[in-house]
Amino acid sequence: MRVHTRKSQEELTPEDALQYLKEGNQRFIRNLRANRNLLQQVNETAEGQFPFAIILSCIDSRTSAELVFDQGLGDIFSARVAGNIVNEDILGSMEYAVKYAGSKLILVLGHTKCGAIISACNQVRDGNITTLLHKIKPAVEKEKTILEDRNGQNEKFVNKVAELNVRVAMKEILERSDIIAEMISNRKITLEGGVYDVETGEVNFF
């Protein structure tokens, strides 16, 4: 499989970009990797890169976007931070990806059994972790369906908060980035969300 060129990237629609990720995840869960010559891709991307998407995901070692979506060198931008939270640096990276590097899709990817979500549900306070977990607090507060055992030991509660945390991040991206909001309004790009299941390897898109 060849890397994306400027021409192939420009010809993609946002819907095409999303479909690439969906198809890649299906290959991943079926253990059917696309045939790639990674050394060849190193050479082909040496002079430039044309990623079709930027993915914000958690630092969790089980959720590497390149692996779970079966993508090669030069295919996607990968922004990773515990709890897939949004900050100014993440927003700036997204704006660069879509406005200047030509990416057609922004995906916010949460996952089940997330350690950052568990810590936020348990109201952990420790060093700079406290500041990070504070950004997950709105998702914890938005979860209203579970009334008992609202803590990190309740897997159902944790996973519901993980999904809400993705939705909170998506809303924040739209509210805090005029560049991204305008490009979405003009249908140049799309913003999507999903949750990766660490037990099955499948991504459930919203």
Give the residue among 194, 203, 201 at the shortest CA–CA distance from 29.
Answer: 201
- Known binding-site residues for Zn(2+) equal 58, 60, 111, 114
Rounded Cα distance, 35 and 55, in Å: 22
- Known binding-site residues equal 58, 60, 111, 114
